[in-house]
Amino acid sequence: MRTREEFEAVKIADSVLMDQEKMQEILGKWDKDGLFVIVDHQGKQGLDAASFFLGHGFNNVRCLRGGIDAWSQQVDKSLPRYKLG
Amino acid sequence: MNEELEQKVREAIRNPQNMGELKDADSVGTVGNSECGEMLRMWVKYREEKGRKVIDQATFQSFGCETAIAVASMATEMIKGKTADEALALKTEDLSGDLGALPPMKIHCAELVEGAMRSALEGREDDSPQAAGAADAPNPASSGNLIESLNSGESPSGGLKIVMLDDEADAEKNA
Number of domains in chain B: 1
Please indicate, yes or no, if residue A80 is contained in any of the structural domains: no
Q: Are A82 and B163 in contact (CB < 8 Å)?
A: yes
pLDDT at B10 over 90: no
Alpha-carbon dihedral angle through residues A49, B64, B22, B85, given to the nearest 10 degrees: -80
Q: Indicate which of B162, B163, B170, B174 best probes the interface with A, i.e. most A CBs within 10 Å of its own CB.
A: B162
Give the residue, B169 or A24, on which the prediction is more confident: A24
Please indicate, yes or no, if residue A79 is contained in any of the structural domains: no
Alpha-carbon dihedral angle through residues B10, B42, A29, B148, given to the nearest 10 degrees: 150
Helices (H) and strands (E) in chain A, counts: 4, 3
Q: What is the pLDDT of residue B136?
A: 36
CATH of the domain at B42: 3.90.1010.10
DSSP at B105 = G
Please indicate, yes or no, if residue A34 is contained in any of the structural domains: yes
Distance CA B34, CA B18 (A): 22
- Cβ neighbours of A49 in B, within 8 Å: 36-37
User: Do the interacting molecules here have an ipTM over 0.90?
Assistant: no
Q: Which of B34, B105, B171 sits opposite A55 (nearest CB)?
A: B105
**What's the N-to-C CA distance of chain A in angstroms?**
16
Q: What is the pLDDT of residue B54?
A: 95
- Cβ neighbours of A56 in B, within 8 Å: 65, 105
**Quick one: average pLDDT of A22-26?**
83
- A50 is in which domain, residue-wise? 4-74
Q: How confident is the model at residue B153 (pLDDT cuts 50, 70, 90)?
A: very low
Residues facing B33 on adjacent strands: B38
- B43 is in which domain, residue-wise? 3-174
- Cβ neighbours of A7 in B, within 8 Å: none
Distance CA B77, CA B86 (A): 14
Q: What is the pLDDT of residue A46?
A: 81
Q: One-letter amino acid identity for A34?
A: G
Size of interface A-B (CB pairs under 8 A): 52
**Quick one: average pLDDT of B24-52?**
83
**Quick one: average pLDDT of A31-38?**
92
Contact residues, A window 31-70, toward B, CB-based 8 Å cutoff? 48-49, 52, 54-57
Task: Show which residues of B are catalytic.
Answer: 36, 109
Q: How confident is the model at residue B143 (pLDDT cuts 50, 70, 90)?
A: low
Q: Which of A6, A52, A81 sits opposite B165 (nearest CB)?
A: A81
Number of domains in chain A: 1
- Collapse the DSSP code of A13 into the 3-class scheme (helix H, G, I; strand E, B; otherwise coil) and give the result: coil
Q: How far is A48 from chain B (nearest CA, A)?
A: 8
